[in-house]
Structure 1
Amino acid sequence: MLPRLPLDDRTYAEIVQQSRKIIPKRMPEWTDENAHDPGMTMLEMLAWLTEMQRYYISRVPDRNKRKFLDLLGVAPRDTESARTLVQFSGVTEAIHIPRGTKLMAEDQMFETERSIRLHPLALDRIICRTEREANDVTAWSDHLHVAFQPFGTDAKRGARLYISFDRELEPGELATLTFKLLKHDESLRDVYDAAEEGELASLIPSARLSWKAYCWDEQAAKASWMPLQVVRDETAHFSTSGSFAFRIGAPMRSVVVHPAADKPRYWISCTIEEGGYELPPRISGLMLHTVMASQRDTLCEYMEYETTGEPGQSFVLDTYLAMHGEMRVQIGGGEQGWTELPLGQFEVERRPGGDGVSVKLASVPDDPPLAPGTRVRLIASVPGFYRYSAIGSGNGLPNQAVEAYDLACRKKTALGLQVARRERDGTLRWEDWSAVEDFDRSGPYDRHYVYMPEKRVILFGNGEKGAIPEASPDANIGLIACELGGGARGNVKPGLIREWASKAGRTASVAVSNPFYAHGGSEAETLQETLLRAQMELKQTFRAVTEEDYEILAKETPGVEVARVKAIPLYKPGLSDYPREKAHGQISVVVVPYGHTETPSPSPGFLRTVQHHLDSRRLIATELHVIPPLYVRITVHAAIVVEPQYADDSRKLAELLKELLRPLGGRDGREGWEFGRTVYKGDIYNALTKASGVVFVQDLWLDADGAQAKKTAGGDIQLPPHGLVYSGEHEIELISRTRL
């Protein structure tokens, strides 16, 4: 029996019927739709061809679909690991947590993405101070479901955030604070989303902050607020969630900060030096001792260095596997391959206090020192990994398949593979092989392999598409990297990461937890999912050519929140007689940010961020201007005749006009006033006459306050092309119908 295929559900008759419905819209002059008309004959023939094409397309095998996707540059997404923020608590002494430290969430393994040093330090008090008030928000910061505004509702220049600790920080001691900031449309959800490195590189902050600590100034011989040494600021001046690492440059001194006036404390402060926030920052989480962790279990990894030519050179590693696992050393690289050093030619020394591992290349009397620039590869693995690292031997035949059933790697790139070739003198040279999706682009000398996670099988080429591993009686196919984990199961709930995988971590009496959900973990894409994603991606805008392209891309600018945008072709700032006067080859993009004010305006940093995002996507011959809107205040003066019971409802009519004359959209889903659209008296008449109780508008005139706004002879208000309106204080006089 033939398998049931996903054929198109439209029949020949339905295609003909749908095509006939389009005729009056596309060709209204075509009125004869009878069977004798040659056009109908062509339409029916094309409908038959369409049905046949869809029938055969449904029978395209999966292998061909993958090749079609490859021609489009689309590949199925690999398994992804979930990520989350983990926080350590109960620190009583300084502890170093290396990168890759293994933590447990029930049966899920997580690893820290960065090294961190924990100090016996805790947050004491948090104060927010503006020109008008000072508030103690310490209780708010203790709850991750409550947000506070560190610089008040206005976030003006001079506003300060004070943070105190339970002890003084030593000069040079590294401390890290992690901030979770909310966006305008974001609820207090348990997910920590930090900006990627690429987003931070292109993000220009809207405001500028300065950080200081109350320390002893030796030059002035007194205590004062002195600048901090900022090591890392992932928040981009409180523009996004991230960590803030700093050092104190001088001995701290305690001081009393109102309203925490019960005792002196050790404080640092953050001050707005240059205002400009479109939306005042909102902090829903302020934490110490945090680091990002990924759901994975690394069994083997390697790091590469270059020698300086000095004898007995040593290298320092700061990873969990290096501290608790086994070490191997290789030298060489490139086309010559790698040579593995025996144990006697290198020494491994674990530094006290967990501050890393030192690997020293021992000097051999008969061998000269390594030449400067020689590559050294340090391979760290869990104890006993050697039982899995040698996964097979080459047979010298095409299309060799090697099974790796003992390693449940779920990612196609989870393995780092080497194949050894034996020289004439008997030494082994290990060559690196690269993972590829398939062998279509592989040549006969390309050392490529394909790993199929679902079968746990490694495939090699046939000599024409991909090289063939050298035949060997011994195991000459080995692993230098291996990573387990990944998938949707890693998206664990808050509080599930609470165990240490190592005995050393459990004996340190330091508690660990994840305050937020882990997110981002996903399974490998199926072919059908990849096809659907490819269809969506082909519809997405990635180049700015038309006006709509500029508007779509401007709203997608990472790091900023654009509420409205308008692209004006052939326009540049300062053009007074547009559209009769045109700026050829130029386009202006007007952006409006989200804000709490009635007329939100973008800061220079906001405009430059959008400009940078669009510059890399515009046509090279187009001159681009990203500009703020020009606001025009509209005041309506009206005398309106109403029913007697509505004679005191002038406030409702004023609110109706404010709803009409608004620059941003409302909760009803409608956009605000159209950019550059003239405010006609007829628009106001139409809105007022639809209100309840209005009989007629007896008199009406408009006033405008704003640059480049013009009033016509008929009383209408003309706006510049980048103009937006907002409501003034409308003057509405209501006249009862019975008084006429």
Structure 2
Amino acid sequence: MLFVKELQNKPYAERISEAMMKLPLISPEWTNYNPSDPGITVLENLTAFNTLQGESITNISYRAKAALLKMASITPKKGKCARLLLSADKLDKPIYIRTGQKFRLGDLCFEAGRNMNVGGSRVVGVYSRYGDTFHDYSYCVDREVRLGARIFGDKPKVGDELYFIINSIPDDIKDTYFYFEVDGSNKRNPVEDRALNIFADAKWEYYTEHGFEELKVRDYTGTFLYSGEVKISFGSSRPAVCKEAPEEGYCIRVTLTKADFDVRPKLLGVEGFLFEVWQRETEGICYTINKVDGIEITSNFSDNEYIAVFAKEEKGSAYRKYELTRGDGHGRYCYFEETGSRSFRISFDKEKYGYEPVKVKDCVRVIIYNEDMMRTYDVGSVIGYDDQEIELPVKHIVRDSFCLIARRDDGEGGFIYEFVRPEKNEEDALYYHLLENDGKIIIEDAGDYIGARLYIGMIAVSEGEKGNILAGNELIADNIPGAYFYNPCNGVGGAFRESLQSMKERFVEDINTPYTAVTEKDYEQIVKTTPGLCIRKVHACIDTAENMVKVIAMPDTGDEKPYLSDIYIEKITERLEQRRLISTRVEIIQPIYTPVAVRGTVYVKRHYNGCKEKILEALGREIDYMRSDKNFGDVLVFEEVFHSIEALDCVQFVYDLSITPENPKVATLKDSDIYPKENCLFSLGNVQIETVTYED
């Protein structure tokens, strides 16, 4: 079989040489091998064609390669801008920020996604009520204190309440974010649906002139089980000062409606009234406008020097370009006047200039570039050959922010303009792929756009994973002197669009990844990664005679001897039912724990202090399976226990040592080793070690 690489790598000289060597075998009567011979000329042409075929046999288009991978359910992971929550609690008074407002940290730029008022509100007190008593946990609002508060006590129950006291809540507030930092979040497996509350749930309310009224919330903390935000949407009623809470002020109350916690919530910190920004920097922005009278725009660029205006003059037509003017003239002009440092107004007058837009949807587009983009927004012409590549002036482009302007001749000495998005699949349209990571476009089908000139219509760039900054920074806002904003949590979600090479590697990994549990390791991995659960140890054993798999799991809930709750058994069973072999039965078994007693005499060296404590530590490392890497059913080997003591620097020698299980029903002593049941874990039990100072 001739492999693709062999076809591709053979140069022309090697191919023609092989063909000439085969001629005497194929046609002995052929004796003229001079270049002037017509047969040699035909052979050279065929060899050259074969070489070109070999070189292009693997040059499949980007679209074809992506389609082949899509057949195997491998589609590119989309690029995302990092998302960040900011606090404005350092502002003396509220301020209004617009969509696109820039916040900077070093060379990173974050932008607001919408218009909003920020600042002026903060959490000043945290109280909980359980057991008919109020408990003050207001230290949780101090960023310098991370003591941890059991906000619902040691035995949370339905009806327990949590109060957040707030200095002020604006009347016009619609929604905001709270962020909660919780101890032990790293132990819990992530869930696909971050708003899923497995173990607990709560009702959120705020105090109004009519009493407490319910809030709409999107809780991403699992009801205070892991660190995350809670999106809060206020109703139409005005907030009011509450005097029923332990501290007077505006109040948000949380009441538990379900309290089957596997781990008791421990709150480290709370941040209120946060707003979200996205890591991106817009270098060219396009405003689409549905009216033509009195267009007013406030931009986030430092100046308004680089503005382009396009308008439709007939319904369904392409755009025409209008020039800015501050005076009279005849032609496609629009009157431009600055109304502020970053604001301007545009107006059209047909009687004065002779042209104006038609009043239809999207009739006017106004583009503003920064200085760098203004110098490079012209990217080239559409030539028309297959898969034409055009370099763009920047890399790491935000896909949703990108658009090209295609300029074509109108046949009358002028130009018409079309705004073209990537992969716009319409008849005779310009169809191109945007390789946002590489900063390129690939024109797959030029359609009716051969000869068109291409310009960037709008564009923003992102830093991908670099935008996932750690918590605890201060960001500075452009054009807002003296304003500092704090990020209480890490930036999340930042990533570049997955490359074709990465998709190929993921395809290879995918076909080698088992999705059905077959071996013990498969079952153990599936159980250990059950979403939303805290699993510390898992052991699976297969009973071939019964065609059954027994699974034992130890939750990581912080209890001394944790057992599987009904919720744990339900979630683990659901996950295994989706992945087990049809003919295989699965049984979930509770863990059992038994202590191991140790007796003996150890001779220790002189001048060593704390020998007994060190011996106990060594015994704990070997015998305490709950805190070591030992798993269910692992044999406790006497020699390993013996050598763990003997290897201590302070020990001269071990004179006598014995280990015995304190519950012989679940563990058996055999030849000095202890053999536990398949679902048994050992712990260090009664220790009677006598230490004797060794005398030379």
Q: TM-score range by the shorter chain?
A: 0.5 to 0.7
Shift in Å, 1:596: 0.8
1:705-720 correspondence to structure 2 within 5 Å: none
Task: State the alpha-carbon separation in 1 of the partners of residues 362 and 185 from structure 2.
Answer: 50
Shift in Å, 1:116: 4.6
1:392-471 correspondence to structure 2 within 5 Å: 392-396=380-384, 400=388, 402-404=390-392, 407-411=393-397, 413=399, 415-419=402-406, 428=416, 430=418, 432-434=420-422, 447-449=431-433, 451=435, 458-461=441-444, 466-467=445-446, 470-471=449-450
Distance 1:610 1:497, change over 3 A: farther
Residue aligning to 2:477:
500
1:553 correspondence with 2:541: no
Gaps of 5+ in 2: 1-54, 323-331, 350-355, 605-610, 646-653, 669-673, 692-696
State the Cα deviation string for residues 522-551 of structure 1 (Å, max 9, x = none): 789999999988876766555545443343
Shift in Å, 1:595: 1.0
1:228 correspondence with 2:196: no
1:236-247 correspondence to structure 2 within 5 Å: 236-240=222-226, 241-247=228-234
2:664 aligned residue (668, 683, 702):
702
Task: State the alpha-carbon separation in 2 of the partners of residues 378 and 622 from structure 1.
Answer: 63
Distance 1:205 1:694, change over 3 A: same
Residue aligning to 1:36:
none
Residue aligning to 1:573:
none
Contact 1:155 1:275 in 2 (8 A): no
1:297 correspondence with 2:281: yes
Gaps of 5+ in 1: 1-59, 187-192, 218-222, 570-577, 711-715
Residue aligning to 2:459:
482
Residue aligning to 1:162:
163
Distance 1:735 1:538, change over 3 A: same
Task: State the alpha-carbon separation in 1 of the partners of residues 295 and 537 from structure 2.
Answer: 53
Shift in Å, 1:104: 1.8
1:252 correspondence with 2:240: yes
Shift in Å, 1:611: 6.0
Shift in Å, 1:393: 3.8
Distance 1:654 1:256, change over 3 A: farther
What letter is aligned with 2:86? V
Distance 1:229 1:604, change over 3 A: farther
What letter is aligned with 1:618? R
Shift in Å, 1:416: 2.6
Task: State the alpha-carbon separation in 1 of the partners of residues 612 and 132 from structure 2.
Answer: 34
1:297-376 correspondence to structure 2 within 5 Å: 297-300=281-284, 339-340=318-319
Match of 2:193, SS? helix
Match of 1:167, SS? coil
Task: State the alpha-carbon separation in 2 of the partners of residues 703 and 521 from structure 1.
Answer: 54
1:97 correspondence with 2:97: yes
Task: State the alpha-carbon separation in 2 of the partners of residues 699 and 735 from structure 1.
Answer: 20
Contact 2:155 2:264 in 1 (8 A): yes
Contact 1:591 1:626 in 2 (8 A): no
Task: State the alpha-carbon separation in 2 of the partners of residues 493 and 652 from structure 1.
Answer: 39
Contact 1:300 1:379 in 2 (8 A): no
Distance 1:695 1:235, change over 3 A: closer
Task: State the alpha-carbon separation in 1 of the partners of residues 131 and 515 from structure 2.
Answer: 45
What letter is aligned with 1:482? I
Shift in Å, 1:488: 6.7
Measured on the aligned residues, the alpha-carbon RMSD in Å equals 6.4
Task: State the alpha-carbon separation in 2 of the partners of residues 613 and 315 from structure 1.
Answer: 57
Shift in Å, 1:120: 2.0
Match of 1:178, SS? strand
Residue aligning to 1:265:
249
Distance 1:731 1:484, change over 3 A: closer
State the Cα deviation string for residues 566-615 of structure 1 (Å, max 9, x = none): 4566xxxxxxxx776557xxx67554431110233455555565566666
Residue aligning to 1:138:
138
Contact 2:125 2:164 in 1 (8 A): yes
Residue aligning to 1:14:
none
Contact 1:460 1:468 in 2 (8 A): no
Residue aligning to 1:16:
none
Shift in Å, 1:297: 0.8
Residue aligning to 2:590:
630
Residue aligning to 2:44:
none
1:190-205 correspondence to structure 2 within 5 Å: 198-200=192-194, 203-205=196-198
Task: State the alpha-carbon separation in 1 of the partners of residues 554 and 381 from structure 2.
Answer: 63
Task: State the alpha-carbon separation in 1 of the partners of residues 557 and 415 from structure 2.
Answer: 69
Task: State the alpha-carbon separation in 2 of the partners of residues 119 and 597 from structure 1.
Answer: 42
TM-score, length of structure 1 as denominator length: 0.59
Distance 1:254 1:530, change over 3 A: closer
Match of 1:553, SS? helix
Task: State the alpha-carbon separation in 2 of the partners of residues 459 and 66 from structure 1.
Answer: 9
Contact 1:170 1:252 in 2 (8 A): no
Task: State the alpha-carbon separation in 2 of the partners of residues 608 and 318 from structure 1.
Answer: 55
What letter is aligned with 1:123? V
Residue aligning to 2:325:
none
Contact 2:204 2:217 in 1 (8 A): no
Task: State the alpha-carbon separation in 2 of the partners of residues 301 and 606 from structure 1.
Answer: 50
Contact 1:235 1:244 in 2 (8 A): no
Match of 2:88, SS? strand
TM-score, length of structure 2 as denominator length: 0.62
Contact 2:516 2:581 in 1 (8 A): no
Contact 1:299 1:481 in 2 (8 A): yes
Task: State the alpha-carbon separation in 2 of the partners of residues 603 and 380 from structure 1.
Answer: 60
Distance 1:172 1:76, change over 3 A: closer
**410-419 vs 226-235, which deviates more?**
410-419
Distance 1:650 1:106, change over 3 A: closer
Shift in Å, 1:693: 5.8
Contact 1:171 1:251 in 2 (8 A): no
Shift in Å, 1:619: 6.6
Distance 1:727 1:107, change over 3 A: closer
Shift in Å, 1:269: 2.7
Task: State the alpha-carbon separation in 2 of the partners of residues 329 and 588 from structure 1.
Answer: 70
Task: State the alpha-carbon separation in 2 of the partners of residues 195 and 528 from structure 1.
Answer: 27
Distance 1:658 1:138, change over 3 A: same
1:600 correspondence with 2:601: no
Match of 1:85, SS? strand
Match of 2:521, SS? helix
1:30-49 correspondence to structure 2 within 5 Å: none
Contact 1:412 1:435 in 2 (8 A): no
Task: State the alpha-carbon separation in 1 of the partners of residues 665 and 132 from structure 2.
Answer: 35
2:201 aligned residue (202, 208, 212):
208
What letter is aligned with 1:236? G
Distance 1:500 1:717, change over 3 A: closer
Match of 1:598, SS? coil
What letter is aligned with 1:594? D
Task: State the alpha-carbon separation in 2 of the partners of residues 650 and 107 from structure 1.
Answer: 56
Residue aligning to 2:180:
179
Task: State the alpha-carbon separation in 1 of the partners of residues 292 and 405 from structure 2.
Answer: 27
1:618 aligned residue (576, 579, 582):
579
Task: State the alpha-carbon separation in 1 of the partners of residues 586 and 297 from structure 2.
Answer: 49
Contact 1:205 1:239 in 2 (8 A): no
